[in-house]
């Protein structure tokens, strides 16, 4: 926690707004929109709920197709399935690990010629790394495709001076426990389209019609964030810049301590943006390193150091084995060789040195 969370939670208790909604939610939405540079925001129970409702607003339904990054967490794709639509996965680029813009361009051109353009594009800013937005926005405008930015992992990042999540028709963020700031669980939709925000807000509160009694003309969901969790979010938002700075410090320390190891490469940072380094990720080439990713994980575990593989691409997931994919080899290699190192902002310099030492020992074997 950052220090002021309890202060805002006490405000919520003192006001007796404990149930969902209330002054803390309103304040969190206003402060968050201002922080990221969006006109409007609405707070929801999770980033997944945010993705779901934005896809619904985009008109995505059964029989539609939605372009999606394959190298991502499953929630990006699952939300498409919630609307009974088909994800079409696009491979990553080694330059950023985000969606390959050239592959996207070719696929959209092919689909335009065949009269099968997707209903929407789910663009993921992976591991805090902003995707190359300018050419992607140009393609979405050219083909009239609804651009959704999954910025769940990228709060605090920058793309040419602006925060990702504010370029498309809507952006979503997550406050899950592993994110750069947390409300324990929660999410946010941001947009410059007030009608989008109002509709998402309406659906998220069980789509209750404006009557004195409970009347419902549309299908709704119980997706709103509670007043208590919003109070925590307000406190967390005040330390966002510090968290990003610490994440980048952690990455810099790993780079200094491990950057000379043969066969180990860090996730690159393209010149168009500034990543948060939400997680410090590396790829390990066993032919050069003499050790593979799995062996390094096993050795770290012996030292009580937790590490994780990078995301398993969606097109390799049993759930999505029948979904179409464009490319896939880059994401497959990033998964096969990729490792996420401990990156929590609560880590001390001694903790970092312990991880660095343990990794270096693996390369000496």
**Residue carrying structure tokens 């619904």:** 56
Give the pair of three-digit tokens for residue 145. 């495709």
Contact by Cβ (8 Å): 282, 265 = yes
- Domain hosting 252: range is 241-364
Together in a domain, 118 and 187: yes
Contact by Cβ (8 Å): 39, 194 = yes
The whole-angstrom separation of Cα 156 and Cα 18 is 29
pTM: 0.94
DSSP letters along 105-117, please?
Answer: HHHHHHHHHHT--
Together in a domain, 229 and 307: no
Together in a domain, 172 and 103: yes
Together in a domain, 166 and 72: yes
Together in a domain, 129 and 183: yes
Tens of pLDDT, residue by residue, the chain (365 residues): 777 888 998 988 888 877 778 899 999 999 999 999 999 999 999 999 999 999 999 999 999 999 999 999 999 999 999 999 999 999 999 999 999 999 999 999 999 999 999 999 999 999 999 999 999 999 999 999 999 999 999 999 999 999 999 999 999 999 998 999 999 999 999 999 999 999 999 999 999 999 999 999 999 999 999 999 999 999 999 999 999 999 999 999 999 999 999 999 999 999 999 999 999 999 999 999 999 999 999 999 999 999 999 999 999 999 999 999 999 999 999 999 999 999 999 999 999 999 999 999 999 76
Together in a domain, 84 and 215: yes
Together in a domain, 257 and 123: no
CATH number, position 264: 3.90.1150.10
Tell me the helices (H) and strands (E) count for the chain, helix number first: 13, 14
CATH number, position 222: 3.40.640.10
Together in a domain, 145 and 72: yes
Phi, psi of 64 (to 5 degrees): -80, 160
The whole-angstrom separation of Cα 313 and Cα 41 is 30
* pLDDT confidence of residue 22: 87
The whole-angstrom separation of Cα 290 and Cα 287 is 6
Together in a domain, 19 and 156: yes
Dihedral angle computed from the Cα positions of residues 233, 122, 124 and 171, in that order, rounded to the nearest 10 degrees: -30
* pLDDT confidence of residue 13: 87
Give the pair of three-digit tokens for residue 335. 């998964």
Query: What residues does 42 pair with on adjacent strands?
Result: 189
CA 126 to chain centre: 6
Q: Helix crossing, 75-82 with 47-57: angle to 10°? A: 40
CA 333 to chain centre: 21
- Domain boundary (193, 218, 239) is at 239
Using DSSP's 3-state secondary structure scheme, residue 210 falls into coil
| HSE-up of residue 331 (Cα within 13 Å, Cβ side) | 26
Together in a domain, 18 and 165: yes
Give the pair of three-digit tokens for residue 149. 């930015």
- Domain boundary (239, 256, 284) is at 239
Together in a domain, 171 and 79: yes
- Domain boundary (239, 256, 286) is at 239
Domain count, the chain: 2
* pLDDT confidence of residue 365: 60
Beta strands 338-341 and 308-309, pairing class = antiparallel
* pLDDT confidence of residue 175: 96
Using DSSP's 3-state secondary structure scheme, residue 262 falls into coil
Contact by Cβ (8 Å): 80, 54 = no
Together in a domain, 114 and 248: no
């Amino acid at each position: 926690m950052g220090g002021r969370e309890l202060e805002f939670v006490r405000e919520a208790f003192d006001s007796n707004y404990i149930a969902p909604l209330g002054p803390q939610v309103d304040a969190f939405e206003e402060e968050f929109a201002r922080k990221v540079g969006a006109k409007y925001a609405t707070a929801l129970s999770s980033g997944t709920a945010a993705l779901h409702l934005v896809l619904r607003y985009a008109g995505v339904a059964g029989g539609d197709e939605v372009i999606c990054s394959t190298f991502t967490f499953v929630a990006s794709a699952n939300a498409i399935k919630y609307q009974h639509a088909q994800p079409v996965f696009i491979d990553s680029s080694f330059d950023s690990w985000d969606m390959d813009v050239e592959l996207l361009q070719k696929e959209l051109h092919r689909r335009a010629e065949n009269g099968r353009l997707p209903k929407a594009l789910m663009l993921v800013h992976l591991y805090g790394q902003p995707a190359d937005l300018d050419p992607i926005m140009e393609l979405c405008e050219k083909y009239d495709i609804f651009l959704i930015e999954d910025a769940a992992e990228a709060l605090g990042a920058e793309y040419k001076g602006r925060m990702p999540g504010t370029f498309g028709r809507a952006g979503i963020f997550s406050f899950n426990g592993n994110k750069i700031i947390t409300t324990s669980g929660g999410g946010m939709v941001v947009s410059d389209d007030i009608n989008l925000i109002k509709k998402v807000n309406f659906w998220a509160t069980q789509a209750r019609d404006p009557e004195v009694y409970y009347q419902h003309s549309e299908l709704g969901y119980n997706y709103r964030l509670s007043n208590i969790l919003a109070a925590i979010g307000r406190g967390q938002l005040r330390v966002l810049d510090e968290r990003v700075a610490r994440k980048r410090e952690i990455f810099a320390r790993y780079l200094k301590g491990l950057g000379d190891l043969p066969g180990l490469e860090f996730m690159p940072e393209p010149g168009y943006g500034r990543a948060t380094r939400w997680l410090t990720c590396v790829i390990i080439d066993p032919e050069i390193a003499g050790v593979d990713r799995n062996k390094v994980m096993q050795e770290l575990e012996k030292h009580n150091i937790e590490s994780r593989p990078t995301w398993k691409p969606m097109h390799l997931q049993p759930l999505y084995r029948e979904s179409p994919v464009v490319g896939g080899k880059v994401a497959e290699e990033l998964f096969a060789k990729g490792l996420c190192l401990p990156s929590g902002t609560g880590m001390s310099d001694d903790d970092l040195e312990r991880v660095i030492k343990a990794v270096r020992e693996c390369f000496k074997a």
